[in-house]
């Protein structure tokens, strides 16, 4: 089982590397072929909406099908995305590819493969090791994404070497598809895994808890959709005339800070609890984002955004661990999907509005809306779930668990 976990870590690293450069290349490529910010927002919305629908479908069928087979299908979808994006220029076709494909314009844990990898990973670790396992998983994903952002400078380097800029962008999409092929090879090494016996409903005793978490996560994702990484890159391009190479270097630093926050979050959660760690690291990060919206100096803005990055992703491994902890093992794949789908749906709404707001006199308004919405989410999460503890936080004297069952 340990080798299976390492295989999942390696696959997460490859996908993170691809996502790292794709989130920056995508808006730059669309701008190069003539799209304005509003049109780019529509494409990003299509991407997130498609992610939501495909993730929902995975959540419904995962409990009754082989996880390995589903993961192989998801990896093949990565290959399709890399091949199809450079093939079209009309917005209708580009939006369709974005809808079907796997390029995620955000840096969050969204995507059709995420709930499958979460469920497979949770199978191989004990309760007391679960948060650390997901912290390592998130750390690998974030570090590989950081390195991937540096690779976004490749089209600039190719242009200096005499290669057309659009050709350089297309080559990056083909590289993204090649990473999908590598994931296919890795997933083939995993064992076949059925989540549970067949039953009438994908969710059982944990339904109420999962639905409440999904509702709150949707608020967080809707707010985050105003500043997905592709839109944040576009904002920096438009407001400060930042180059693609400079943006790649900045997002490398931001992703690296986020990456090393994951093991810190795991340690904090052992002392303060998962919910407290999620909330009290998230709120300061949102405040930094709001302040950045009003700053006019590029270096001040980048500094504030880096401070935000050091804190904003601490809720990723803790949130994932919390969801896996408060449901039964048989419900984990579905719970991961059901909590991810509203995030994808909600985050799919905001980019279109954010693209329009970027063209207004105050282009920092999406940052303000993102920060304010996330603060509201954090307060609501703390109020609703502060008394629902995962097994490792429940005192021996407790009589009931998060699902209302004897401990």
Q: How many CA atoms lie within 13 A of 233 on its CB side?
A: 34
- The stretch 4-22 carries a mean pLDDT of 90
Looking at per-residue pLDDT, the higher value among 404 and 103 belongs to: 103
Looking at per-residue pLDDT, the higher value among 17 and 396 belongs to: 17
What local confidence, expressed as pLDDT, does residue 407 receive?
A: 39
Domains, the chain, ordered by start: 2-191+204-391 (1.20.1250.20)
What local confidence, expressed as pLDDT, does residue 404 receive?
A: 45
The pLDDT of residue 124 is above 70: no
Residue 200: pLDDT band (50, 70, 90) is very low
CB-based contacts of 244: which residues, under 8 Å, 6+ apart? 24, 25, 28, 152, 153, 155, 156, 237
Question: Of the candidates 4, 231, 247, 274, which has an alpha carbon nearest to the alpha carbon of residue 107?
Answer: 231
- Mean pLDDT, all residues of the chain: 84
- The stretch 267-272 carries a mean pLDDT of 88
- The stretch 179-198 carries a mean pLDDT of 81
What local confidence, expressed as pLDDT, does residue 203 receive?
A: 66
What local confidence, expressed as pLDDT, does residue 311 receive?
A: 93
What local confidence, expressed as pLDDT, does residue 195 receive?
A: 56
Question: Percent of the chain beyond pLDDT 70?
Answer: 91
Please name the helix (run of DSSP H) or strand (run of DSSP E) that holds residue 40, with its range, or none. helix 37-61
The pLDDT of residue 146 is above 50: yes
Q: What are phi and psi of 95, to 5 degrees?
A: -65, -35
What local confidence, expressed as pLDDT, does residue 304 receive?
A: 97
The pLDDT of residue 400 is above 50: no
In order, the DSSP letters of 298-341 are HHHHHHHHHHHHHHHTTHHHHHHHHHHHSS-GGGHHHHHHHHHH
How many CB atoms sit inside 10 A of residue 166's CB?
15
The pLDDT of residue 308 is above 90: yes
Cα separation, 301 vs 306, whole angstroms = 9
What local confidence, expressed as pLDDT, does residue 202 receive?
A: 61
The pLDDT of residue 117 is above 80: yes
What local confidence, expressed as pLDDT, does residue 197 receive?
A: 45
Q: What are phi and psi of 69, to 5 degrees?
A: -65, -45
Write out pLDDT tens, residues 346-359: 777 888 888 889 88
The pLDDT of residue 196 is above 60: no
Write out pLDDT tens, residues 271-300: 888 999 999 999 999 999 999 999 999 999
Question: Of the candidates 209, 158, 181, 223, which has an alpha carbon nearest to the alpha carbon of residue 339?
Answer: 209
Residue 397: pLDDT band (50, 70, 90) is very low
**Which of 64-73, 90-99, 158-167, 338-347 has the weakest average pLDDT?**
338-347
Q: Are 336 and 212 in contact (CB under 8 A)?
A: no
Residue 403: pLDDT band (50, 70, 90) is very low
CB-based contacts of 396: which residues, under 8 Å, 6+ apart? none
Question: Which DSSP category does 402 fall into?
Answer: T
Residue 394: pLDDT band (50, 70, 90) is low
The pLDDT of residue 199 is above 50: no
Q: Are 104 and 19 in contact (CB under 8 A)?
A: yes
Angle between helices 332-357 and 114-123 (to 10 degrees): 150
The pLDDT of residue 223 is above 90: yes
Please name the helix (run of DSSP H) or strand (run of DSSP E) that holds residue 277, with its range, or none. helix 274-294
Cα separation, 298 vs 280, whole angstroms = 27
User: How would you class 246 by CB atoms within 10 Å of its CB: exposed for 0-12, middle for 13-18, buried for 19 or more?
Assistant: middle
Residue 398: pLDDT band (50, 70, 90) is very low
Residue 110: pLDDT band (50, 70, 90) is low
**Which of 164-168, 250-254, 400-404 has the weakest average pLDDT?**
400-404
Question: Of the candidates 329, 22, 326, 306, which has an alpha carbon nearest to the alpha carbon of residue 148?
Answer: 22
Residue 369: pLDDT band (50, 70, 90) is very high
List b or e across 25-39, with b for residues whose CB sees 16 or more CB atoms inside 10 angstroms: bbbbbbbeeebebeb
- The stretch 218-225 carries a mean pLDDT of 90
Cα separation, 139 vs 137, whole angstroms = 5
Q: What's the length of the chain?
A: 407
What local confidence, expressed as pLDDT, does residue 395 receive?
A: 56
The pLDDT of residue 52 is above 80: no
């Amino acid at each position: 089982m340990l080798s299976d976990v390492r295989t999942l870590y390696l696959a997460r690293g490859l996908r993170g590397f691809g996502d790292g450069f794709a989130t920056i290349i995508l808006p730059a490529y669309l701008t190069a072929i003539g799209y304005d910010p509003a049109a780019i927002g529509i494409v990003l919305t299509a991407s997130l909406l498609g992610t939501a629908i495909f993730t929902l479908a995975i959540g419904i069928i995962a409990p009754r099908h082989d996880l390995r087979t589903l993961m192989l299908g998801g990896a093949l979808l990565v290959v399709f995305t890399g091949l199809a994006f450079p093939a079209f220029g009309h917005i209708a076709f580009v939006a369709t590819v974005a809808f079907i494909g796997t390029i995620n314009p955000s840096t969050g844990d969204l995507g059709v493969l995420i709930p499958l990898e979460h469920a497979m990973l949770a199978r191989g670790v004990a309760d007391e090791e679960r948060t650390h396992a997901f912290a390592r998983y998130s750390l690998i994903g974030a570090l590989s994404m950081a390195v991937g952002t540096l690779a976004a400078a490749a089209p600039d380097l190719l242009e200096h070497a005499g290669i057309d800029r659009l050709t350089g962008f297309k080559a990056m999409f083909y590289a993204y598809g090649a990473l999908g092929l590598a994931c296919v090879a890795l997933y083939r090494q995993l064992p076949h895994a059925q989540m549970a016996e067949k039953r009438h409903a994908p969710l059982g005793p944990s339904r109420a808890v999962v639905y409440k978490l999904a509702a709150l996560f949707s608020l967080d994702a809707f707010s985050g959709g105003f500043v997905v990484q592709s839109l944040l890159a576009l904002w920096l391009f438009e407001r400060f005339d930042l180059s693609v190479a400079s943006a790649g270097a900045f997002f490398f630093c931001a992703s690296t800070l986020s990456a090393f926050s994951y093991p810190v979050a795991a340690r904090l959660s052992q002392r303060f609890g998962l919910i407290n760690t999620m909330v009290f690291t998230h709120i300061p990060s949102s405040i930094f984002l709001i302040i950045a919206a009003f700053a006019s100096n590029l270096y001040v803005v980048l500094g504030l955004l880096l401070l935000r990055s050091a804190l904003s992703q601490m809720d990723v491994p803790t949130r994932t661990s919390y969801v896996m902890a408060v449901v039964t093992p048989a419900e984990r794949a579905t719970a991961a999907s059901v909590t991810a789908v509203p995030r994808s749906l909600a985050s799919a709404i905001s980019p279109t509005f954010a693209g329009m707001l970027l063209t207004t006199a105050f282009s920092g308004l999406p940052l303000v809306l993102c920060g304010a919405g996330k603060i509201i989410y954090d307060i609501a999460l703390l109020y609703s779930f502060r008394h629902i503890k995962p097994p490792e936080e429940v005192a021996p004297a407790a009589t009931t668990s998060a699902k209302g069952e004897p401990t």
